[in-house]
Structure 1
Amino acid sequence: MLLRLRIALPDEPGSLGRVTHALGIAGADITQVVVLDRGEGRAIDDITVYWPDSAPREALVEGLRSIPGVTVEGVWGTREAPGTYPELEILKYITTAGDRALATLIDSMPVLFSADWAAAGTTTEPRSVVHSSWRAPAEVPFPSGIPVRPTAATLDSGLHVITAPLPPLALTLLLARADGPAFHRIEVHRLTRILEVFLTLPMVERGVARRLRRLG
């Protein structure tokens, strides 16, 4: 299976080498390393590895804990194939999806962001879910307030979310991750850029309006 590890480590020569060495000894096959952040002597990396389905995740991080200055912020499953550009593929499909453009976007979000589910609902009360991905709960925990831009938060339940307004559509998008770390600002920025492109597509607003009429 594919796993993603979020690791904080000293931003100095040799630190990443010690991490990858420990992962190799544990039996992980490293497929991708992405630097999310660096500054003030620290770096945050997302490392994607192949890991045997039957092996416990605890064994994967055991060796990392012995490396001075290294902190494992989270280990969680991912379906995003390393070395690909999935958002480009998804945007290509959306341009030909017609009335299913919004559904295509929402269904792709968990894969793009190694999350658990996504949903979109109306901004007015009572909230109506327009579309939700597989594994979304029956009661989607939309926030009471709508941020002016995509914003990451952790709910009291421990669920990590990004809440993103879709003003032209009068909808709110919620992306959720229960397993793993909170959404990083780089992930929020990535979602923001995807939504900016999505909302410029001319057929999106018409398709959502027709879908809302059917739901109504």
Structure 2
Amino acid sequence: MFLLRLILPDRPGSLGTVATALGAVNADIHAIEIVEHRRENGTAVDDVVVDLPPGVLPDRLVSACNSVEDVEVIWFSRYGAGGGLHMDLEAVEQMTSAPREAIDILVEQAPAVLHADWAALLDGTGGEVKVALETSATPEFDGLADPWLPLAKATTLAPPANHKGLSESVLVASPLESDQRVLVIGRRGGPEFLGSEVARLSYLASLAVTIHTTA
């Protein structure tokens, strides 16, 4: 599968035109998710998760989108995290069905929810920052997480330079339960996390803590 992040006019019919263009190159659309509305210039940022049949070159996806007037592809990559529409709601449903595991569930589901590659729960409550839980493909932290803690609120993070894995990722994080327990999520290579995605993570983190503590 592939992930396309697009800027397109925020008006009725825009997504349909893009979907038609992708259909013309035999792309199978798995999900279209509105990431952000930019009311100041009348555009929106959308993520489109698609698959292609064998023999169709991936760059045809970009060409198809660029053929639509006023549509710009700002990110294109292979996408293996799964996910799709309503991933936020699916994560919440899983957390409410197993409230004692709500935080673990959020860590596990975070890459799919935010179209990312990995997630890790860092715990500095004992004085030394440790990785308490991580998904597959999480790079080694090697003590480089110490400057990020304590973390007061959800925000993007600057990756450490010259660290294979972390330096190749764009990062977003949110505290869980305390400013010494932090969920870090990474995308290899991009795209950058937008303000709306930071807000979504903050909401889901607060919800996970509430569900867990009231179990």
TM-score > 0.5 by shorter chain:
yes
In the TM superposition, residue 187 of structure 1 has moved relative to its aligned partner by 1.8
Does the CA contact (< 8 Å) of 2:155 and 2:173 recur in 1? yes
Give distance in 1, aligned partners of 2:171 and 2:148. Answer: 14
Does the CA contact (< 8 Å) of 2:118 and 2:135 recur in 1? yes
Tell me which amino acid in the other structure corresponds to 2:136: W
Match of 1:163 in 2: 173
Does the CA contact (< 8 Å) of 2:33 and 2:85 recur in 1? no
Where does structure 1 lack aligned partners over 5 or more consecutive residues? 206-216
Where does structure 2 lack aligned partners over 5 or more consecutive residues? 162-166
Does the CA contact (< 8 Å) of 2:30 and 2:84 recur in 1? no
Match of 2:134 in 1: 132
Deviations 1:2-48 (A, max 9, x none): x3321002335554343222111111123433332132132212223
Match of 2:110 in 1: 109
Give distance in 1, aligned partners of 2:213 and 2:86. Answer: 30
Tell me which amino acid in the other structure corresponds to 2:169: L
CA RMSD of aligned residues (A): 2.9
Give distance in 1, aligned partners of 2:197 and 2:98. Answer: 20
Q: Does 1:34 align with 2:33?
A: yes
Match of 1:21 in 2: 20
Q: How many residues align?
A: 201
Match of 2:193 in 1: 183
Deviates more, 1:110-119 or 1:155-164: 155-164
Q: 1:74-93 maps to which residues of 2 (within 5 A)?
A: 74-76=75-77, 77=79, 78-82=81-85, 85-93=89-97
Secondary structure of 2:178's counterpart equals helix
Q: Does 1:197 align with 2:207?
A: yes
Does the CA contact (< 8 Å) of 1:154 and 1:182 recur in 2? no
Normalised to the residue count of structure 1, the TM-score between the two structures is 0.77
Match of 2:153 among 137, 149, 156: 149
In the TM superposition, residue 54 of structure 1 has moved relative to its aligned partner by 6.0
In the TM superposition, residue 119 of structure 1 has moved relative to its aligned partner by 0.7
